């Protein structure tokens, strides 16, 4: 049904090699989602309108702006609360949020001097946050959900922990720790050791 909406815009070139998504240690259904993400083809309201669907455009997270991928994930004050609660202690929020679009954001995700659990977590944080923001947005649009910051952050940390099992098939990245480390010692796990 939505096939006609998903045709590639032939003038658009992703900011990131789409293959990067397929090499990342995330679930297969999430790889498909990010494949659309890097081509900027998610069915956000602005993209639906651009394809001829007549509907009002409002971001359900803030109700104060039109919905586009750039707004929803990187500029919406509600989404920024989520990013802030996870990353503000690193002091590089402005750099991270300054991007030319979805693929560019993934491309410019900074490297930290980290190893083991910290490195594995850091690599999948952008994918996890964007995935959970999209799921949260969909719950509000389709299931009368509400946004609750603590719950969204909790879901992100639980998802991060679960997804570690994907890379964990190759290396024991959890280092015999439990998920509590993400709740009790987040700033110790997510830090730059320079
Ligand atoms: Zn918004």
pLDDT digits (tens, 9 = 90+) for 28-47: 999 999 999 998 999 999 99
Q: Kindly tell me if the per-residue pLDDT of 3 is higher than 80.
A: no
Q: Kindly tell me if the per-residue pLDDT of 7 is higher than 50.
A: no
Which residues line ion ligand 1, judged by CB < 5 Å? 59, 61-62, 65, 76
Q: Give the DSSP per-residue string, 72-125.
A: IIII-HHHHHHHHHHHGGGS-HHHHH--SSHHHHHHHPPP-S--HHHHHHHHHH
Give the mean model confidence (pLDDT) for residues 73-87: 97
Whether the predicted model's global pTM rises above the 0.95 cut: no
- Rounded to the nearest angstrom, the distance between the alpha carbon of 149 and the centre of ligand 1 is 14
- Rounded to the nearest angstrom, the distance between the alpha carbon of 70 and the centre of ligand 1 is 10
- Rounded to the nearest angstrom, the distance between the alpha carbon of 41 and the centre of ligand 1 is 18
Ranges 10-19, 94-103, 113-122: which has the least confidence: 10-19
Q: What is the pLDDT, as a whole number, of residue 52?
A: 94
Q: Kindly tell me if the per-residue pLDDT of 4 is higher than 90.
A: no
Q: What is the pLDDT, as a whole number, of residue 16?
A: 72
Q: Which of 2, 29, 18 is nearest to 135 (CA)?
A: 29
Mean residue pLDDT of the chain comes to: 90
Q: What is the pLDDT, as a whole number, of residue 17?
A: 78
**Structure-token match 């890379």, residue found:** 167
């Amino acid at each position: 049904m939505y096939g006609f909406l998903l045709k590639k815009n032939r003038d658009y070139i992703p900011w990131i090699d789409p293959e990067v998504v397929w090499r990342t240690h995330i679930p297969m259904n999430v790889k498909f989602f990010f494949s659309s993400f890097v081509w900027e083809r998610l069915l956000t309201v602005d993209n639906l309108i651009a394809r001829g669907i007549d509907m009002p455009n409002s971001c359900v997270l803030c109700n104060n702006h039109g919905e586009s991928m750039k707004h929803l994930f990187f500029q919406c004050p509600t989404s920024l609360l989520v990013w802030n609660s996870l990353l503000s202690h690193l002091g590089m929020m402005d750099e991270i949020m300054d991007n030319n679009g979805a693929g560019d954001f993934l491309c410019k995700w900074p490297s930290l001097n980290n190893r083991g659990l910290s490195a594995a977590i850091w690599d999948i944080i952008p994918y996890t946050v964007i995935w959970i923001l999209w799921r949260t947005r969909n719950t509000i649009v389709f299931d009368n959900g509400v946004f609750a910051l603590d719950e969204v952050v909790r879901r992100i940390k639980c998802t991060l922990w679960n997804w570690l099992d994907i890379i964990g098939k190759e290396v024991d990245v959890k280092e015999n720790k439990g998920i509590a480390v993400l709740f009790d010692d987040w700033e110790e796990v997510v830090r730059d050791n320079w």
